[in-house]
Amino acid sequence: MDSSKETIRSEQNGTFLIEAQQGNARASRLKTQHGWIETPIFMPVGTRATVKAMLPEELKDLGAQIVLGNTYHLHLRPGEKTIARLGGLHRFMNWSGPILTDSGGFQVFSLSKLNKVSEEGVTFKSHIDGKSCFLSPETSMEIQMDLGSDIIMAFDECLPHPSDLEKIKKSMDLTFRWLERSRRAMTRPESLLFGIVQGGLEISLRKQSLEQITSVDLPGYALGGFSVGEPIEIMHGLVREVGPLMPALKPRYLMGVGTPLDLVIAVDSGIDMFDCVMPTRVARNGTLFTWQGKVSIKRNEYKEDPNPLDSSCNCYTCKNYSRAYLRHVFLSGEIISARLNTIHNLHFYLDLMKQMRQSILQGNWVEFRDRCLTQFVSNRSNEIIST
Amino acid sequence: MDSSKETIRSEQNGTFLIEAQQGNARASRLKTQHGWIETPIFMPVGTRATVKAMLPEELKDLGAQIVLGNTYHLHLRPGEKTIARLGGLHRFMNWSGPILTDSGGFQVFSLSKLNKVSEEGVTFKSHIDGKSCFLSPETSMEIQMDLGSDIIMAFDECLPHPSDLEKIKKSMDLTFRWLERSRRAMTRPESLLFGIVQGGLEISLRKQSLEQITSVDLPGYALGGFSVGEPIEIMHGLVREVGPLMPALKPRYLMGVGTPLDLVIAVDSGIDMFDCVMPTRVARNGTLFTWQGKVSIKRNEYKEDPNPLDSSCNCYTCKNYSRAYLRHVFLSGEIISARLNTIHNLHFYLDLMKQMRQSILQGNWVEFRDRCLTQFVSNRSNEIIST
């Protein structure tokens, strides 16, 4: 046993160990330059070199193991060369754990104006100052290498929903050619390059893209192009079909997803890694996740409610503050509101992932999954009724 | 020795012990319902039941012993009856140390519209929703008692600067009559009532007001009506004259003041307690205090500066982040900017108070004071030149 542990320790970055599997759901470990991460895993989003409202130490205390940085935002401000001269993104943002950066592709298409796509790359105007910029597989790789990311995402084209089949097909082929250029441009052996499967909402195109992307041998693969406004059932169906077809011995990452229900369905489909702004963004808007559904803390009924948001939750917020206080500081626009709400929501997400992992390791995934699905589907119905 | 310690322990709230004195400067201890505070002391301002950007635990870690709450703001939202039903302000905001509340007088005159002063009290319109409200000595005491404050401030009239002598004289007499009503209305023995000396910027009126106010036997006295736009040298001169005339065996509190220079001059004049929004407010605007003067973190020269804001500072911010990072998150409007800047500025203020206290206790106050004055006056000149 000891010698096998030694073997694991000496494995290079990208080593991926599946510790347990139940149906398609897996519990695994991935080695990065800044340490191992345990999956299924949720990665809090630290767009501009900070997970909004949080300090790195608080993220660690909540059990976060890896955070996401956004290439598009960091390229525009403060610039990757500046960050590189300051010792890289880890030192810059005081985070010693692993970092995954996206390729910038998604933001180019969602945030910037007047983007123009060519074989070479994308020309766009900065959403900050309107300055003209250019991103390509080569520049995206260079930026992510300058940042010193542990996991680097290939540069892909992200289409809006809906797009016609012809367009999706052309875009998918472009994404494949961009992947090959991304791989050639990736010269930093400490980082792991993940390829991104596109193909819109057609299962046949998704499968075709999967085949293209996985024809390039990489340490990990992702499903991109979701969370762009498509009906949630279609996303669930595609993840259920495509997830299990992804290379079994590599980490699988579903980008930009999602709700607690989405996460359980995706883990059940064999997905290992997730990121989403949802828990942090809705926290700042006063929406909090509980096992009984979402709570809008501004509601009048909480005005004098002395109870914690969720009495079964053991996060800092629930252990120390009443619903009445959370409502008061939210309505007053106080910074502590964003802090307390973000702590709670990230705790909810990270705790859910931890419970999923435990249940896979302990062999009771199906029971746990079904309990989650029943609860979350029922919550969703109640929320739809109450809105 | 042991029996005298025993005596101290059994003393009631309001017990004030002077531990050392150097010239007029004193190091002392004051007992409140929620524990002893050590002076000279700076009280961070927690206007709406939160010191902006901070958690209570972080304040404790920085050495804060007591925080200030604002009667005016808490009365308007969420309302003192609500807070009382939720167990009082301490429990509501998760702060177990002492709390001082102001009387609401200052905000009625500075924030609200259309205030109308009569013998009975002040009618004003809420700055939140325009609703008509009324504050008097009796209502102010009731609000502060409902909040459960450890130190309650008498209800006073606060005139703008400049005001004519006749008006100041009339207002001062009204404040005195209101103090007597405040005292009669104060029926909560756990709380300490402090009287407020007014009298504008005329030394003769200040002395007259001091005589009036101190004719009422109270556990502490404050100087009010400063920080209303008067020339700083006039304030310094008045504090130097009036401070030493205040009752020697009672705590002395200079309200709403001030800069590091103000604090040193006031401690040298025998003042024990301070509050000011300056360190927290300017932090959110990107201005940071150092022993070498104020730093505006947005300046271009810090764009790639890998050094901490102040390499001699051992606050969390200076130990973990570069000037370049502080500049980046400030320009990006990130919440972490307010947090890191507030931590640093409160650390600066609380550390300055701690050093003042130590130097008084250790008998080297004059040397420490002169070092501070030389440095702060020179900083001020540099800042005036550079603006």
d(CA B261, CA B266): 9
What pLDDT was estimated at residue B76? 95
pLDDT beneath 70: ranges in chain B:
1-10, 112-114, 385-387
- Mean predicted confidence (pLDDT) in A161-187: 96
Task: For tokens 């960050």, name the residue.
Answer: A83
Q: Which residues of B are catalytic?
A: 102, 275
- Is B7 among the domain residues? no
Classify residue B328 by burial, with Cβ atoms within 10 Å: 0-12, 13-18, 19+.
buried
Where residue A128 falls among pLDDT bands split at 50, 70, 90? confident
B78 vs A contacts (CB less than 8 Å): 303, 324, 327-328
CB B252 within 8 A of CB B270: yes
Judgement on whether residues B171 and B310 belong to the same structural domain of the protein: no
A331 vs B contacts (CB less than 8 Å): 77
Q: How far is A387 from chain B (nearest CA, A)?
A: 26
DSSP B337-379: HHHHHHHHHHHHHHHHHHHHHHHHHTT-HHHHHHHHHHHHHHH
Q: How far is A309 from chain B (nearest CA, A)?
A: 14
CB B22 within 8 A of CB B366: yes
A52 vs B contacts (CB less than 8 Å): 334-336
Give, for B86, the enclosing helix (H) or strand (E): none
Judgement on whether residues A291 and A272 belong to the same structural domain of the protein: no
Give the number of domains in chain A: 2
Q: Do A332 and B82 touch (CB under 8 A)?
A: no
Judgement on whether residues A224 and A134 belong to the same structural domain of the protein: yes
Task: For tokens 């005016």, name the residue.
Answer: B72
d(CA B284, CA A71): 27
Domain boundary at B257, B276, B295, which?
B276
Rg (CA), chain A: 21
Contact pairs from chain A to chain B, CB under 8 Å: 96
Chain A residue closest in CA terms to B81: A304
Closest CA to A40 of A265, A353, A345: A353
Judgement on whether residues B219 and B349 belong to the same structural domain of the protein: no
Closest CA to A371 of A264, A259, A263: A264
Q: Do A50 and B77 touch (CB under 8 A)?
A: no
- Mean predicted confidence (pLDDT) in A36-65: 98
8-state DSSP, A45: B
- Is B320 among the domain residues? yes
Judgement on whether residues B111 and B217 belong to the same structural domain of the protein: yes
- Is B189 among the domain residues? yes
Q: Pick the catalytic residue: A268, A272, A275, A310? A: A275
CA distances from A380 to A150, A232, A384, B188 (A): 36, 12, 6, 50
pLDDT tens per residue across span A214-245: 999 999 999 999 988 899 999 999 999 999 99
- Cα pseudo-dihedral A298, A64, A230, A376, rounded to 10: -60
CATH number at residue B53: 3.20.20.105
Q: Do A78 and B303 touch (CB under 8 A)?
A: yes
Q: Please, where are the H alpha helices in A195-308?
A: 203-214, 232-242, 260-268, 278-284
- Which residue numbers of A have CB closer than 8 Å to B's CBs? 48-50, 52-55, 77-78, 82, 85-87, 92-94, 303-304, 306, 320-322, 324-325, 327-329, 331-332, 334-336, 338-339
Judgement on whether residues A247 and A345 belong to the same structural domain of the protein: no
What pLDDT was estimated at residue B387? 52
Name the token pair of A189: 């052996």
Is A267 strand, coil or helix?
helix
A336 vs B contacts (CB less than 8 Å): 50, 52-55
Regarding beta strands A35-39 and A25-32, do their DSSP bridges make them parallel or antiparallel, or are they unpaired? antiparallel
- Is B327 among the domain residues? yes
Judgement on whether residues A186 and A309 belong to the same structural domain of the protein: no
Name the token pair of A46: 């630290």
What pLDDT was estimated at residue B114? 66
Judgement on whether residues A204 and A301 belong to the same structural domain of the protein: no
The sign of the CA dihedral A110, A111, A114, A116 is negative
d(CA B153, CA B100): 8
Judgement on whether residues B303 and B177 belong to the same structural domain of the protein: no
CB A90 within 8 A of CB A96: yes
Q: Do A303 and B82 touch (CB under 8 A)?
A: yes
ipTM of the complex: 0.96
Query: Does residue A1 have a pLDDT over 70?
Result: no
Judgement on whether residues A214 and A336 belong to the same structural domain of the protein: no
8-state DSSP, B257: -
CB B39 within 8 A of CB B28: yes
Judgement on whether residues A336 and A295 belong to the same structural domain of the protein: yes
d(CA A94, CA B110): 41
Domain boundary at A206, A241, A276, which?
A276
Counting residues of chain A whose pLDDT is more than 90, the rounded percentage is: 87
Q: Containing domain of residue B315, as a range?
A: 283-379
- Is A386 among the domain residues? no
Q: Do B48 and A329 touch (CB under 8 A)?
A: yes
Judgement on whether residues A146 and A289 belong to the same structural domain of the protein: no
d(CA B219, CA B151): 9
- Mean predicted confidence (pLDDT) in A182-208: 97
What pLDDT was estimated at residue B362? 98
Task: For tokens 């398609």, name the residue.
Answer: A24
Lowest model confidence (mean pLDDT) among A11-15, A95-99, B150-154, B205-209: A11-15
Query: Does residue A261 have a pLDDT over 80?
Result: yes
> Which among B82, B325, B328 has the least Cβ separation from residue A304?
B82
Chain A residue closest in CA terms to B80: A304
Q: Do B320 and A94 touch (CB under 8 A)?
A: yes
A327 vs B contacts (CB less than 8 Å): 78
Closest CA to A255 of A234, A228, A218, A279: A228
- Is A364 among the domain residues? yes
d(CA B123, CA B116): 5
- Mean predicted confidence (pLDDT) in A247-269: 97
Report the 3 state secondary structure along B25-73.
Answer: EEEEEEEECCEEEEECEEECECCCCCCCCCCHHHHHHHCCCCEEECHHH
- Is B387 among the domain residues? no
Lowest model confidence (mean pLDDT) among A24-38, A106-120, A341-355, B225-239: A106-120
pLDDT tens per residue across span A351-364: 999 999 999 999 99
- Is A385 among the domain residues? no
Rg (CA), chain B: 21
Conformation bin of residue A15: beta by default, left when phi > 0, alpha when psi is -120 to 50? beta
Domain boundary at A276, A305, A336, which?
A276
Higher pLDDT, B263 or A129: B263
What residue type is assigned to position A195 of the chain? G
